């Protein structure tokens, strides 16, 4: 498992598309659209957007419903090619199909604690190991929805899905994958599934978190 040091000066942020995966069924919260669930007076997807827009040239949101509400964020939207909830690989496939950059950086919409070094650390390991995919590992479990993927793998993923494949690990097995140590992140990978978790997260959010960072789907900073 890679623990490669990062260099932000060599990180090609403008050649990376951030893909927020918001097409899930939300079954553990009664079928709600989790990206739009609020914590600290903001929808969860807004926190993910804040983090990814510092790591990618632009952001795309993969969604399955509530198009009008997601459109308010000003990001390009992409739906899965098939109706229903087809799983995260279907969302990734849709994102790869509209990306104009060499790489796609993914994160689920219900993980507001993700940090701003996700992309740089994944890219450093990917470059070091000459991999096609870099995926986060929390020290105990692989976190397959936090990955950096070459756009050139789009056709491979389309074939995998067309053949009925749905499991991320089985698709990973077809490619060169760098597994990257993020054990120092603690619970930053946690997705929020209960009212108690939402309240606990909201209690740690700064009161000025919304006002001091302008919303944008384009990269902030250089």
Identify whether 169 is part of a domain.
Answer: yes
Q: Give the tens place of pLDDT for each residue, 14-62.
A: 999 999 999 765 545 556 898 999 988 899 999 999 999 999 999 999 9
Identify whether 216 is part of a domain.
Answer: no
Identify whether 133 is part of a domain.
Answer: yes
H helical segments located in the chain: 44-52, 67-71, 88-98, 118-129, 154-162, 168-172, 195-203
Identify whether 31 is part of a domain.
Answer: yes
- CB neighbour list of residue 4: distance below 8 Å, 6 or more residues apart: 121, 124, 125, 128, 180
Identify whether 121 is part of a domain.
Answer: yes
Identify whether 134 is part of a domain.
Answer: yes
When divided into structural domains, the chain yields a total of 1
CATH number at residue 107: 3.90.550.10
Identify whether 147 is part of a domain.
Answer: yes
Residue 179 belongs to what domain range? 13-203
Q: Taking the model in full, what pTM does it have?
A: 0.88
- Supply 152's token pair: 């050139």
């Amino acid at each position: 498992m890679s623990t490669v040091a990062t260099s932000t000066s060599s990180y090609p942020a403008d050649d990376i598309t951030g893909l927020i995966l918001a097409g899930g069924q939300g079954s553990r919260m009664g079928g709600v659209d989790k990206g739009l669930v609020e914590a600290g007076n903001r929808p969860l997807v807004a926190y993910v957007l804040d983090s990814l827009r510092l790591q990618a040239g632009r952001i795309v949101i993969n969604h399955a419903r509530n198009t009008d509400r997601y459109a308010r964020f000003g990001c390009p939207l992409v739906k899965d090619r098939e109706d229903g909830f087809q799983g995260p690989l279907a969302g990734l496939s849709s994102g790869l199909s509209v990306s104009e950059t060499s790489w796609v950086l993914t994160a689920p919409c219900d993980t507001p604690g993700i940090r701003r070094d996700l992309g740089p650390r994944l890219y450093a390991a990917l470059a070091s190991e000459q991999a096609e995919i870099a995926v986060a590992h929390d020290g105990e479990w692989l976190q397959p929805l936090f990955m950096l993927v070459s756009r050139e793998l789009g056709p491979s993923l389309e074939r995998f899905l067309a053949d009925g494949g749905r499991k991320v690990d089985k698709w990973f097995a077809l490619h060169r994958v760098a597994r990257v140590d993020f054990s120092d992140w603690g619970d930053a990978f946690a997705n929020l599934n209960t009212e108690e978790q939402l309240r606990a997260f909201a209690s740690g959010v700064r009161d000025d978190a919304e006002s001091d960072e302008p919303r944008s789907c384009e990269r902030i900073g250089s």
